[in-house]
Amino acid sequence: MLQGVIGAFATGTYSVTRTTAATLVAGRIVAGMASSFSISASVQPVEGRDLLAMPEGLRSEETRVVYTTTELRTLTEGHGADVVTIDGDLWTVDKVERWQAFGEQHYRAFVARQATS
């Protein structure tokens, strides 16, 4: 079972913050609601080929790959990009690939470290 494999190679439990899309209320933009949940995942450095395959504006030396059985989301009209907390730092989900094997699926998400102020 893939869930057992990812669990066996997990590097930890990570917090994910998911935000709904902002809405327009009486002519003003109202920020979306945020919710948090935990995932078990394996966080790995990005290999050279994968880094080169990232879209031009998303290439960064501060990119990691997160393997998990929980679907993570990128930025769309319906919601903001998920933010994963890794070792106290915030990482934004830029790209997600769904992989299917043995009747199950897992996700490979590319995350980039958010700039600190």
All structural domains of the chain, each given as residue ranges with its CATH number in brackets, are 2-113 (2.40.10.270)
Write down the pLDDT at residue 3. Answer: 60
Instruction: Classify the phi-psi angles of 87: left when phi > 0, otherwise alpha if psi is within -120 to 50, otherwise beta.
Output: left
What string of pLDDT tens digits covers the 117 residues of the chain? 556 666 667 889 999 999 988 888 999 988 889 999 999 999 998 876 666 665 555 555 688 999 999 999 998 877 889 999 999 999 999 999 998 877 788 999 999 998 775
Say what the pLDDT of residue 57 is: 56
Q: Which residues of 67-103 are buried (b: 16+ CB within 10 A; e: fewer)?
A: bbbbebbbeeeeebbbbbebeeebbbbbbbeeeeeee
Residue the block writes with tokens 């935000």: 19
